[in-house]
Amino acid sequence: MTRSSMIDPNFAGSELGMIDISASGRSLPLLPVTVVVFIAFLTMGLALPVLPLHVHHTLGMGEAVVGVVAGAQFAAALLSRIQAGILADTRGAKRSTQVGLLAAALSGLVYYASLLLLQAPVASVVVLIVGRLLIGCAESFIVTGTLTWGVALVGPQNAGKVIAWVGIAMYAAYAVGAPVGVYIYARHGFWGIAGATVLVPLIALACMLPLAPVAPPAARRPPFYKVIGAVWLPGLGLAFCSVGFGAITAFIALLYSNKGWGGTSLVFTIFGVAFIGARIFFSHLPDKIGGAKVALVCVLIEAIGQFLIWQAPVPTVAYLGAALTGFGYSLAFPGFGVEAVRVAPPQSRGMAMGAYVAFLDISLGVAGPLLGIVGHHYTIAAIYLVSGVVVFSASLVAAALLRARSAPSLP
């Protein structure tokens, strides 16, 4: 199968029986899915600002171990992403999402087990990493399932909007979950975080039970290597621009602690508000003017945000850097994603979305430990110089996608 034959000739969604819907109602079918995503990702948001502090201060581990613990989630998501896509394509997107929610609840029980080993910090970290591996699998199945579900509901011509609204739900959960997680941690320690990690996914699971599943397409699916061959270039752009997101989630709490600044949870809130604001007001742009064009501009905005955090003399400048990072990353993700869906075979969109988002997992799984090493050997602030350079590299990928789209087709 050639690259040109991978492009869906019925891109308007007729192969799924979709009809075009009006602009005003385009997001309404996605509402139940985004609610499920929001509740599910509160689980991740609760732990974001406190997990580095727990590993660093309670367990006495260094920055490199913090990076390993944070990166374990994304390594597990990477390893399970394709299986999540296959499950969504063969058993339905709802089933994939349910599996993810159950894995998330199980991770909370493993967090509890790690807390029983506080007197043996190394063993506690090992068990905690197992919990992070489970939460990574959960994230993989939830994201792949809900993205595939959303595209089936509104058609692939609205793929950018699907990615945007699922992302809004995710990062709204991060923005809300971060301060709530700090509150729980301050009063109940990591025990409270573990309990919430068990409870919240079960609430999401109960919310999605009444939702009708969408039948997977019956057409024969191409092998995985052809799917990955179609989406690797936009996936590479996603990998580069995701490093900025990873730098904030894994190390911003340590940066603020190192500088003696307060307001760590506010960084996550500002990032989330900027992220959500960009998607509310500009989520139509990747579908309307092209994903590569949007990605090119937005990765440059994100890189500037990283450089501001690197040089921030006061918390206000770091807040601005977090806002620019959130805004730029918000639209770069669906920008590259639209390019991936455009070339994905319609009967394997679950696998294609899994393959595309797998580049996020690779990025965060590798970047966490490597940026931790940078922070250990240099300074925590230097992490954001390195991440800014990597994010800037995504602009080269966006430019290559633009050239590929404008190049004349061979007869």
313 located within any domain: yes
Q: Which residues of the chain have pLDDT under 70?
A: 1-29, 215-225, 345-349, 406-411
Helix (H, G, I), strand (E, B) or coil at 50: coil
Please state the domain count of the chain.
1
- Residue 317 makes CB contacts below 8 A (sequence gap 6+) with 308, 309, 311
Q: What is the pLDDT of residue 1?
A: 35
Domain that holds residue 384: 30-213+222-406
Count of Cβ atoms closer than 10 Å to residue 156 Cβ: 23
Residue 319 domain flag: yes
The pLDDT value recorded for residue 388 is 96
In eight-state DSSP terms, residue 29 is G
Residues 364-377: tens digit of each pLDDT: 778 888 898 998 88
pLDDT digits (tens, 9 = 90+) for 53-106: 889 888 888 878 887 887 788 778 778 877 888 888 888 888 889 999 999 999
Distance, CA of 49 to CA of 44 (rounded, Å): 10
Site of tokens 């966006």: 398
- Is residue 323 in some structural domain? yes
15 part of a folded domain: no
Q: Which residues of 330-340 are buried (b: 16+ CB within 10 A; e: fewer)?
A: bbbbbbbbbbb
Q: Hey, what are 320's tokens? A: 């601005």
* Spatial separation of the C-alpha atoms in residues 269 and 171, rounded to whole Å: 9
CATH code at position 294 = 1.20.1250.20
In a domain, 21, yes or no: no
CA gap 226, 351 in Å, rounded: 11
pLDDT of residue 222: 62
3-class SS of residue 201: helix
Q: Is residue 294 part of a domain?
A: yes
d(CA 181, CA 78): 26
Say what the pLDDT of residue 410 is.
Answer: 38
Cα–Cα distance, 59 to 224 (Å, whole number)? 41
The answer to whether residue 11 sits within a structural domain is no
Q: Per the domain annotation, does 146 fall within a domain? A: yes
